């Protein structure tokens, strides 16, 4: 699902409403936006964004995401190197990134629950993806406090500067 704007995975495009029922996307909770912007401000090399979309992805324990570049935002957003800010919640994921779509050459790091990753400036168009989600790695306190089901939630905040 996405917040504030709609992201249509099928057409890889941003829009004001969900095409299948015309509904407006819910707003981005201020508390989440504050966390993303605070993280953004710790990296002085990257411009500060005012997020106009938050995409929420849920990965089951067999979830993956192939190596890709995020380049569906407006030219202006990409050319300015506006960062996207990613927050991971739940099970740990192995995140891959590199200069090409070659999985064998990608660097792999674990993204644990609570980790924040920011790609911006020169790293904005890095290839990246999720090779796998590690079963049963959600912190116990989080599972107990929220009843979170197995898997991983990822929130990405962007300023797509859409022109529609």
Ligand X SMILES: O=C(O)CCC(=O)C(=O)O
Minimum CB–partner distance for residue 57 and ligand X (Å): 5
Residues that bind ligand X (CB under 6 A): 55, 57, 65, 70, 86, 95, 111, 128, 130, 154, 156
The residue count for binding Fe ion (CB under 5 A) is: 1
Q: With CB cut-offs between 5 and 8 Å by kind, which of ligand X, Fe ion, none does residue 161 bind?
A: none
Query: According to the annotation, is 132 in a ligand binding site?
Result: no
CB atoms within 10 A of CB 99: 11
Query: According to the annotation, is 70 in a ligand binding site?
Result: yes
Cβ closest to ligand X, residue 112 vs residue 143: 112
Taking residues 43 to 72 in sequence order and writing x for each that binds Fe ion by CB under 5 A, - otherwise, the string is ---------------------------x--
Query: According to the annotation, is 8 in a ligand binding site?
Result: no
How far apart are alpha carbons 78 and 73 in whole angstroms?
7
Looking at beta carbons, which residue is closest to Fe ion? Answer: 70
Give the binding site for Fe ion (CB under 5 A): 70
């Amino acid at each position: 699902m996405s917040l504030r704007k709609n992201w249509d995975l099928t057409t890889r495009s941003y829009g004001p409403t969900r095409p299948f029922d015309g509904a407006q996307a819910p707003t981005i909770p201020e508390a989440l936006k504050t966390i993303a912007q605070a993280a953004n401000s710790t990296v002085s090399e990257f411009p500060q964004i005012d997020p106009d979309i938050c995409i929420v992805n849920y990965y089951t324990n067999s979830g993956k995401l192939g190596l890709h570049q995020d380049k569906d935002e407006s030219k202006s957003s990409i050319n300015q190197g506006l960062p996207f800010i990613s927050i991971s919640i739940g099970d740990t994921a192995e995140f891959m990134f590199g200069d090409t779509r070659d999985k064998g050459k990608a660097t792999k790091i674990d993204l644990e629950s609570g980790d924040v990753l920011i790609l911006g400036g020169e790293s904005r168009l890095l290839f990246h993806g999720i090779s796998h989600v590690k079963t049963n790695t959600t912190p116990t306190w989080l599972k107990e406090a929220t009843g979170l089901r197995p898997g991983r939630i990822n929130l990405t905040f962007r300023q797509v500067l859409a022109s529609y």
